[in-house]
Structure 1
């Protein structure tokens, strides 16, 4: 049997096979079988079509918390043939409004939390509220007659908005062909079937959530959704929810370690533990392995632009066989066989140590705003001046990249003993607790505040576990940290807010006249 061609079809295939015999979704006390979830998605799809005037909506915002509406709504949008644009009710209304406009949304589907979030600052598009009462009413409605989704492999399945260096969120569209290629690579890797219970640790605005949801449903497993507060106690959550599969950022290992809960054999139900979104320290991996000795471990790596992950590394079952790396970080392994990759040095020549560039069916078609494509893609230079193989930057903001273009990940990678080793970033992008952040976006917002002449944002290691936290330095007249915190809180999501803001007379400069980031790191020392 060939793999499905659209994102919804991966779920629909399992729903047809398992019907009302297997639970597809658990959110608190709510348990829905595959058949029940399919029926609910169909009814939501009919509501969306009606709200769009009788035709399939092209782009729908999903403004939801951790609720049944989140997952039935995701499916409902896909079933109606639309593109899912996840929104977060905890983000400032100004940021949500910016995404609504940038994504050119036609509708916003909201649960109770989302509807409450837009009550005082509604977006400039209709909002369809589907809370608990509406869900109960939908379940009693007759099954709607809907045409099969008009979406095809070349249509956009979802758009994730990431941090942008210009001060505005940056939209990353992922095609049905991209995500179907991804699921074709990973859905069968983790022995998932009825009885498998998979965690859903990521927010829907983070593309790791797509892996959680559709890898579970592609295999006929149960997606188990913890509340956000539960994620701060991973060991207790694994045991209370009887999870067999866990996928999260490595930072949650640090939470468990600080709680003193990573005791030998403390997570006996786990069969698979997957980590991604940020580097996995080998020391943290060893702690988790001790607590879940029956669990196989795998590291996934990949930016949103490459459809969740493009490499994987399966840790040997025997920790004594784990490789040593120069930075104590687990390897990111090898690229999936369906993609091409190259490491390029500073001159654009292939090397065994350089920026990782990738192309193939997982690579997105280009940013929502084509202006963001400039400098992010490379294409082989057919006539290099010195005759050596070289890649040149793609700088045409008006056209879409072709299949020949490499996507520049911005990650410096080396090949060691046949494995790819992640060595850090080549730019000012950072990962903080799994969230990809362009420091330039926070700096741009700070510079827009009254009295701020200039601003620099850094990722500073914390004193307790070395995990990065954000710190900002500003100079200007009348700059007050408390006011700046308040102003930033109205424009940026919580994970992008600096933990410290220092007001300096001037920002230090190096010998080249550029801001001396190393000197500022010394100014902050360890974050407290």
Structure 2
């Protein structure tokens, strides 16, 4: 029978079993499970006090990589509320839109974000996070919700009532209209993901799990609760540490590392991935964007004792839903058409379909999934139509209703994949990366894959640009690695692609700009290419 424990139940069980074990290391501080639990509960009591004893349904967390961030997130869970991460660096106008869409009842803000919060129109109380309770506990008293009480006791904090069907957290992603799109993930969705991950990766007491993602990026939930479900320690690097991951992993004895592949590119530029430089690392997981075989090989040299897996999953399927484990011997690694590591096979408890343009099963097409990790539908029901399909065994039909999608419906990922002979899926790109150039359909991912085959090219991004005076748009490419002769690059691609797929220009960059989630910022790259004309 599936484990239906909520996120807070998992954390509390570890706190009961391992009260003195380090639960969190961040910013040079170490908090044990009992200490972190106490801080979360006192923070929960402050929220109740500010709301006159009314239990909130949704709590905003305006914090990142600090004790305030993690204690606030846990406080929301303790109250049975959904945690809604809010980026302290996000523009106030966008924060206002998210706060209204989420219908927040309260916001907890770390000290560094309080000034930022004043410029945001929050429709609810904003509480500055305080650790007063922890600071005066030695004197036998703590301050909570304006009251002084005996240490270890929390006034007016009701018993925890777990509900597997409650929303655990809400992540806001970029919507196609420019309006933030809320993705609610239920406790039972997260539970299904955690049951699989904690067993597969052997996480437990003594494990030291990285937390490289910002709180607004959903893999943070994977990091926090694979650690806190099992009595492991969550180890949080500062953003500046991410360009030298091997040094951080070595100095902080990380056993489980999970990040986007872009960290490899920056680490290589800084000569951080020396052979055998991560001797204690046991597991490495990459996700969030394509992992190239070249990147994987560079990491493998630096961490030969680490099992390396590529994960894939949209937020709507609760962090990750497919997995591919690279063989221990690089000689047995796959050779793929686009030079990326396969995303592998769906988790055993999920049901997947690959559908062609007509809705029939195919070896290449859109990946669609359903199962216990599938979210219940968007926060705004108007986002649901067109995002789900019903499959009758022969053909899929698009679900265009506003109501919450039934469990038997498949979520359309919008990702194009190809199934290999071994059953592993290869990610070919986004369906929305298909463009038309002079009447021809062009997959930007195909052009990027061809460009990466050129000697000296590390990464590539292709975008559609329109030069002043030109009647039609054209393709332009940016790449990292060794600077190349543009004519030689064009000649190389001409041997692989039809003429209409050839970029008219090539721009060399030392490194691609990254967005807040440490992924390649394709929009920023497109802006650079447009500026270059």
| 2:10 counterpart of 1:6 | no
Taking the aligned partners of 2:341 and 2:298, their CA distance within structure 1 comes to 13
Residues 328 and 155 (structure 1), Cα distance of their counterparts in 2 relative to 1, 3 Å cut: same
The alpha-carbon deviation at position 259 of structure 1 amounts to 1.1
| 2:122 counterpart of 1:123 | yes
Any idea what SS the aligned residue of 1:504 has? coil
Map of 1:515 onto structure 2: none
Superposed, which structure 2 residues align to 1:224-235 within 5 Å?
Answer: 224-235=235-246
Deviation string, structure 1 residues 315-366 (Cα, Å, up to 9, x no partner): 1111112122221211111111111011001100011211110001110000
Q: Please report the TM-score for the alignment, with normalisation by the length of structure 1.
A: 0.81
Map of 1:220 onto structure 2: 231
Gaps of 5+ in 2: 143-150, 436-443, 475-498, 510-533
Taking the aligned partners of 1:138 and 1:45, their CA distance within structure 2 comes to 17
Map of 1:315 onto structure 2: 326
| 2:74 counterpart of 1:70 | no
Map of 1:304 onto structure 2: 315
Map of 2:414 onto structure 1: 410
Taking the aligned partners of 2:384 and 2:433, their CA distance within structure 1 comes to 17
Map of 1:294 onto structure 2: 305
Taking the aligned partners of 1:526 and 1:138, their CA distance within structure 2 comes to 58
User: Which of the numbers 192, 206, 209 marks the counterpart of 1:195?
Assistant: 206
Contact persistence 1:48–1:80 (CA under 8 A): no
Deviation string, structure 1 residues 370-427 (Cα, Å, up to 9, x no partner): 111111100135xxxxxx8111111112x11001111001111121122111111111
Q: Please report the TM-score for the alignment, with normalisation by the length of structure 2.
A: 0.81
The alpha-carbon deviation at position 65 of structure 1 amounts to 2.2
The alpha-carbon deviation at position 147 of structure 1 amounts to 2.5
Gaps of 5+ in 1: 382-387, 431-457, 475-502, 511-517
Map of 1:338 onto structure 2: 349
RMSD of the alignment, in Å? 2.6
The alpha-carbon deviation at position 131 of structure 1 amounts to 4.2
Residues 428 and 115 (structure 1), Cα distance of their counterparts in 2 relative to 1, 3 Å cut: farther
| 2:143 counterpart of 1:144 | no
Deviation string, structure 1 residues 102-132 (Cα, Å, up to 9, x no partner): 1111111111122122133352321011145
User: Which of the numbers 380, 387, 396 marks the counterpart of 2:391?
Assistant: 380
The alpha-carbon deviation at position 89 of structure 1 amounts to 0.6
Map of 2:506 onto structure 1: 525
Taking the aligned partners of 2:73 and 2:104, their CA distance within structure 1 comes to 15
Map of 1:176 onto structure 2: 187
Any idea what SS the aligned residue of 2:432 has? coil
Taking the aligned partners of 1:67 and 1:190, their CA distance within structure 2 comes to 26
Residues 465 and 83 (structure 1), Cα distance of their counterparts in 2 relative to 1, 3 Å cut: farther
The alpha-carbon deviation at position 88 of structure 1 amounts to 0.3
Superposed, which structure 2 residues align to 1:79-478 within 5 Å?
Answer: 79-131=78-130, 136=135, 140-141=141-142, 142=151, 143-145=153-155, 146-380=157-391, 389-397=394-402, 399-416=403-420, 417-428=422-433, 466-467=458-459
